[in-house]
Chain A
Amino acid sequence: DAKTTQPTSMDCAEGRAANLPCNHSTISGNEYVYWYRQIHSQGPQYIIHGLKNNETNEMASLIITEDRKSSTLILPHATLRDTAVYYCIVRDYNNNDMRFGAGTRLTVKP
């Protein structure tokens, strides 16, 4: 089973920030939180990852709570092309496995 829980769907207005939450209450101390997205049926695309500190790159920001039991992916200025399914994944240190849950279907609206 996936180690994460995400809302099934979210809407966001174009140009506004999209905040996608994820719960991972059973995460272990050396497991990373990864975010990927999938547009239509293309291969999952890497967005960002983190261990315990907040992270930012050219695509997004990742905010991880101090207890590491949840995180939020922030797309600062969502565009129509950000419409996709977003997956929050805890990466298993034993076998490098990434367990995909159902993800959040984000729809960016004009």
Chain B
Amino acid sequence: EAQVTQNPRYLITVTGKKLTVTCSQNMNHEYMSWYRQDPGLGLRQIYYSMNVEVTDKGDVPEGYKVSRKEKRNFPLILESPSPNQTSLYFCASSDRNLNTEAFFGQGTRLTVV
């Protein structure tokens, strides 16, 4: 089954404690991206990757890092989380062909206290 898997689904952490949210896809997609969703602001892109070892900033990259060492994985790293990073996070993947759909993970709800 084609899917994008995020872990963990829920996480409560403290300010400053580094964390990683993993994202994995099984469709051999070249393109992967991370979004955050906040009430009233919709989904905003954090980072994206067009292929292995190629990453670029989205609209709200501050406070986040990503890596793309292999095609299937695209982890989101918060080196020093702060309360304003409390949000719902989604990972997505797609083929580079615009005529194919993008798949989204089920989301990670992060709370930073």
Give the chain A neighbours of B106 by CB distance below 8 A: 42-43
Contacts A43-B105, A43-B107, A96-B31; is A32 near B99 (CB within 8 Å)? yes
Report the separation of the CA atoms of residues A99 and B106 in the bound assembly, to the nearest whole angstrom. 18
**At the interface, yes or no: A51 with Cβ under 8 Å from chain B?**
yes
Give the chain A neighbours of B74 by CB distance below 8 A: none
Say whether B48 contacts A100, CB under 8 Å.
no
One digit per residue, 1 when the CB lies within 8 angstroms of any chain B CB and 0 when it does not, for chain A 10-40 equals 0000000000000000000011101010000
Contact of A51 among B44, B90, B99, B107 (CB under 8 A): B99
Q: Is the interface on chain B under 10, 10 to 19, 20 to 34, or 35 or more residues?
A: 20 to 34
- Closest Cβ–Cβ distance, residue B30 to chain A (whole Å): 9
Q: In the complex, which residues 50-97 of chain A have their Cβ closer than 8 Å to any Cβ of chain B?
A: 51, 91, 93, 95-97
Say whether B98 contacts A95, CB under 8 Å.
no
Contacts A43-B90, A51-B99; is A96 near B50 (CB within 8 Å)? yes
Q: Is the interface of A mostly helix, strand, loop or mixed?
A: loop
- Closest Cβ–Cβ distance, residue B6 to chain A (whole Å): 8
Say whether A96 contacts B99, CB under 8 Å.
no
Question: Nearest B residue to A92 by beta-carbon distance?
Answer: B98
Report the separation of the CA atoms of residues A73 and B70 in the bound assembly, to the nearest whole angstrom. 37
Known: A30-B98, A31-B98, A41-B88. 17 other contacts (CB 8 A): A34-B101, A36-B104, A41-B107, A42-B106, A43-B4, A43-B90, A44-B43, A44-B92, A44-B104, A46-B102, A49-B101, A51-B99, A95-B50, A97-B45, A97-B58, A100-B43, A100-B44
Q: Which residues of A contact B (CB under 8 A)?
A: 2, 30-32, 34, 36, 41-46, 49, 51, 91, 93, 95-103
